[in-house]
Amino acid sequence: MTDRVIEVVGVEKAYRFFRLGSVSLELEAGQIMGFVGPNGAGKSTLMRILMGMIRYDRGAVRVLGHPIPEEQASAKRDVGFVSEDMRLHGNVTLAWYMKFVASIYPGWDAAYADVLLRRFNLHADQDIKALSHGERVKAMLLLVLARRPRLLLLDEPTTGLDPVARHEILTELMAVVEDERRAILFSSHNTQDVEQISDQITFIDRGRIIDSSDKETFIDRWRRLHLDVPSGVTLPSLQDVVETKTSGHIAVVITKAYSPAIESIYQRAGAQVREVQRMTLEEIFVANVMSNRREAER
């Protein structure tokens, strides 16, 4: 028995104007995976496939060891799903929803729910209709967090939130993985949130996973090099260099597999390495997407 909470192998799904796949993905217990991609890249589609809400054409999916969609009911007992377009409806209060969810899920932790009410600055007798966007997101998160599910699938949980609300949510997500049997997959285009709390990062663009690795590897390997290139010197073309911008006697190079050896190669070719910079996850993401698109269009 592995402690893999998500296993996706070669999943494909074709729509009229969009094609997902083939997608393979793994997430182990105790980890947070950040799922990063532009709008329409396929993040929500994949999350819905994991929840058994969309049938896929090809491949295999397991969530908490259960094949999806066949055993989705068993899997979902221990999965909490929050998505942007989910709404809490009706002329009822948050307390009504809390009672409702508690009646379905035996794992409901009423004491933790009360703690979350305070931490998220929510009130149980608030009318759902009167909640602001941020409060609504926090209310939905409360309803899944208090069940203490093993796996959380969160589609854009921090989008459109103010910095304080984002901080409150990230704090709760980090508290979840203090328990190493639990895991979180969350999608976002806020790369700062992803960079801060993710152990694994997966980039998706146009229905394809273009890169997936642990965060430390990403942050370590991607570097920007500033070079002085004297007249008559031609920069050697290196395999892992994804972008080279030259202007006059200056070149800026982005590599996805930095090692000091790269510096010596450029130096031997006659260029001077002025500076080697680390990149933020956002810069890595954009460079990654752009280089993959150039590759695809070639």
Q: Which residues bind other proteins (CB under 8 A)?
A: 30-32, 167, 170-171, 174-175, 177-178, 180, 192, 196-200, 214-216, 219-220, 278
Minimal distance in Å, beta carbon 227 to other proteins? 14
Q: How far is the CB of 200 from other proteins (least distance, A)?
A: 8
Q: Output 56 or 186, the one with its CB closest to other proteins.
A: 186
Token couple for 291: 């280089």
Comparing CA positions, the residue from 229, 214, 286 lying closest to residue 254 is 286
Q: Between residues 262 and 281, which has the closer beta carbon with respect to other proteins?
A: 281
By beta-carbon proximity to other proteins, the closer residue of 85 and 178 is 178
- Of 219 and 238, CB closest to other proteins: 219
Distance, first Cα to last Cα, the chain: 43
Dist. CA 115–CA 130, nearest whole Å: 21
Closest contact distance (angstroms) between CB of 105 and other proteins is 24
Nearer to other proteins, 72 or 213 (CB): 213
Q: How far is the CB of 45 from other proteins (least distance, A)?
A: 26
Nearest distance in Å: CB 73, other proteins: 30
Q: In what order do the strands lie in the sheet with 250-255?
A: 241-247, 250-255, 223-228, 272-278
CA distance 35 to 46: 10
Strand, helix or coil at 247? strand
Separation of alpha carbons 200 and 98, rounded Å: 32
